[in-house]
Chain A
């Protein structure tokens, strides 16, 4: 496999060279005045400007927009919805009280957590298992083809994935139709609220399990081969080598992904649920994200939905912090360092 990448480029930290290396320059940089450093680096700063501006406008300014959660926001007070924010009356925590007193909100919370746990148990281990399997395949061409096929669904849109499932498992789908031909009444999984949570998990597995193996395969490729050789010399068989060498090598990656997953627990698949909300009904499919969407965008109750969204955001952020703390306690690095 040829590549245009220079040797050792994949994120390796280079040893500082006496004069030209990164550290050498940084030491000199300390001696430089702010103005000189600005003159030297102004092109670099200029280059980052478009992204910084985009993020400020579309990610930071809206954070301030959350003040509507403390208001009784009325978009029709002004021609411009932004100006209307300044004219809307303040109501304190009234919107939050409405949210926590609403049974629909708690229903969405429960659905979200049930789905998260289900994903953790039924989705999370599959990429690890697949990666171990692929890694044990010796023939390079077989590996490449299998990987190419498994990666594919990751690049399909949720619209496509949901539609494909509908065509295979839906009431008019291939399976139901084949059963009907053999005298069975057929079925329709897509509109059955009872199996909805398994259905969405299956969709998730179909779409992203193959993609999830990449990072594990990378971790596996980094295991030094002499470890296996030494273990084999000491009489460790195939399974013992997997248990004592391969799996420990995956431990940090698994911990990192677990932390990320727990931190993202309240976001269980917005697009996917929105697309199927109509078919199965909100009872089974309402999660926090779709709850905010329904009340805010659909029912135009912006303040109420913003309050619900804010609760979700705050709980989500604390989950990241807690999960990361837990990772540190387990002796793993987690997402960010202490």
Chain B
């Protein structure tokens, strides 16, 4: 499969602007003006639908209280910028702690998930190895049926994980889909390369570390992003396994602040005296929650397709 996204770009195009259209094949008709316009319109609407809500959230979080009060709610057109809301949130207190919890859980969880997943994917990547079919079946079966919410909840409780950060990591640490993607990729690495390394005396650990991993940077980036986003976005496990409000990650605090319209602990003074708009604080929390994801995903984006393809279900 070609690595180029969609249509192959002829060599001569390289020199021209990357926004310019590559030359059409001779057999393809020139598109009608109306068709082009309609196409652009639909694409424009789709992109606008994604960007507009994010825009108003960001703008409102940066707006001074007066502007927010004047518009009576969310701000669409920015008039003046202030970072008060962020200063308040990150100057200690509930939201800052929640953000740190989220960052910690995401870092530790992603590292743990990646380690076990890469090891498992490599362990299953050799077609002739002993027992790999059985282990694979064990993994695949979990994709078709889950144990259900109640027994899982009882188990986590029985293991004594309630009110520990492990409850946010261990129960959902493994994604079989991600392992299959990694495994598919590892299996595609030239067997001759691996064999020659083995002849040179390299063991499996060294082959994994020195040959397989360096060749798999693209897919590793994608899977790391998948895991990290999973941990960053998770709120359900925290909501059922944690009772201590101080341990809550950012998403759960966001539910309390924005959805249930509660005031952040320790901030009510500023809000009550009218220096700070509660709406700006809420929007700032949302920006904190979306920022890492929105910043990171475009970098990994070009690898998505390859990653998803290799992972397409196969035994």
Contacts and interface: CB of A to CB of B under 8 A. Distances in A.
Interface of A: 1, 3-6, 8-12, 14, 17, 20-22, 25-26, 29, 34, 37-38, 40-41, 43-48, 50-52, 54-66, 68, 75, 80-83, 85, 130, 133-144, 146-153, 155-160, 162-168, 172-174, 177, 181, 206, 210, 214-215, 217-218, 220-222, 225, 228-229, 232-233, 237-238, 256, 263, 270-271, 274-275, 278-279, 289, 292-293, 296-297, 302, 305-306, 309-310, 312-313, 316-317, 320, 335-337
A81 B151 CA distance: 11
Given A156-B290, A317-B145, A222 B305 contact: no
B200 interface: no
A11 B184 contact: yes
B293 to A, nearest CB: 4
B117 interface: yes
A54 B158 contact: no
Which of B57, B76, B128 has the most CB atoms of chain A within a 10 A radius of its CB? B128
Given A138-B21, A221-B1, A167 B142 contact: no
B274 interface: no
B6 A220 contact: yes
Which of B21, B29, B193 has the most CB atoms of chain A within a 10 A radius of its CB? B21
Nearest to A46: B123
Nearest to A157: B233
Given A60-B142, A138-B24, A150-B46, 14 more contacts: A4-B215, A5-B218, A9-B188, A11-B187, A43-B123, A65-B150, A159-B289, A164-B57, A218-B309, A228-B27, A271-B236, A296-B150, A297-B149, A337-B315
16 contacts: A10-B306, A17-B191, A46-B123, A48-B135, A50-B116, A51-B116, A62-B155, A141-B19, A143-B5, A146-B47, A150-B46, A155-B293, A160-B289, A164-B57, A275-B259, A297-B240
Nearest to B140: A336
B56 A41 contact: no
Contact of B147 (A63, A152, A166): A63
A11 B305 CA distance: 13
Interface string B123-160: 11011111110010011001011111111111101110
Closest 4 CB pairs of A and B: A65-B151, A157-B233, A62-B147, A82-B158
Interface in B166-207: 170-174, 176, 179, 184-185, 187-193, 195, 203-205
Interface string B1-20: 11111111100000000111
B96 interface: no
B6 A221 contact: yes
Given A160-B290, A317-B145, A44 B129 contact: yes
Contacts of B255: 159, 275
A217 B7 CA distance: 11
A205 B4 CA distance: 27
A306 B152 CA distance: 10
A66 B148 contact: yes
Given A232-B27, A309-B148, A313-B145, A58 B170 contact: yes
Nearest to B119: A47
Contacts of B47: 146, 149-150
B18 A140 contact: yes
A328 to B, nearest CB: 15
A62 B152 contact: yes
A152 B297 contact: yes
A81 B29 contact: no
A54 B142 CA distance: 12
B215 A6 contact: yes
Contacts of B217: 4
B265 interface: no
A55 B152 CA distance: 12
B128 A26 contact: yes
Contact of A150 (B50, B52, B159, B309): B50
Contacts of B4: 1
B218 A163 contact: no
Q: What interface size band does chain B fall in? A: 35 or more
B53 interface: yes
Nearest to B115: A50
A275 B254 CA distance: 11
Given A34-B130, A45-B131, A292-B149, A51 B119 contact: yes
A54 B174 contact: yes
B259 A177 contact: no
A193 B312 CA distance: 38
A16 B215 CA distance: 21
A135 B6 CA distance: 7
Given A133-B42, A155-B297, A44 B151 contact: no
Given A62-B147, A309-B149, A313-B148, A214 B39 contact: no
B80 interface: no
Nearest to A219: B309
B195 to A, nearest CB: 4
B43 interface: yes
Interface in B205-231: 205, 208, 214-218, 225, 229
Nearest to A276: B259
A83 to B, nearest CB: 8
A282 B74 CA distance: 29
A116 B6 CA distance: 32
Nearest to A236: B27
Contacts of B313: 256, 335-336
Nearest to B51: A149
B126 A218 contact: no
